[in-house]
Amino acid sequence: MDGSASQLAGKKAVVAVTAGVPAEHCTPEGSNQATLETLLGSWHATLRLCQFDIQQPMVKVYGTAFGLSDEDLATSAKQYNELLAAFAA
């Protein structure tokens, strides 16, 4: 960027992601060989470059293939809907 303000400057942005694996997979020793913070680093770098007001990420680490209960899935869906509603307000 040339130092001028981005048209996106100050707009709110959030990264919402479901890893789809148990938490132990998201470690340097796990199957992903990286933390979620590391894996999401390029997203945050891009948002910073565009001068977004970056909000706290919403990260869920599990997967239905790993025994996620219907209740936990419903709770996560509710939390995601609340996150989206907060941005729409």
pTM of the model: 0.72
Residue 58: what pLDDT? 85
What are the residues facing 54 on neighbouring strands?
13
Q: How far is CA 45 from CA 41, 49, 57, 81, in A?
A: 6, 6, 13, 25
Residue 53: what pLDDT? 95
Number of domains in the chain: 1
| Residue 3 located in a structural domain | no
- pLDDT tens, position by position, for the chain (89 residues)? 566 888 999 999 999 888 888 888 889 999 889 998 898 999 999 999 999 999 988 887 766 677 778 888 898 889 989 988 988 87
| Residue 5 located in a structural domain | no
Show the domain range for 66. 12-88
Length of the chain in terms of residues written: 89
| Residue 71 located in a structural domain | yes
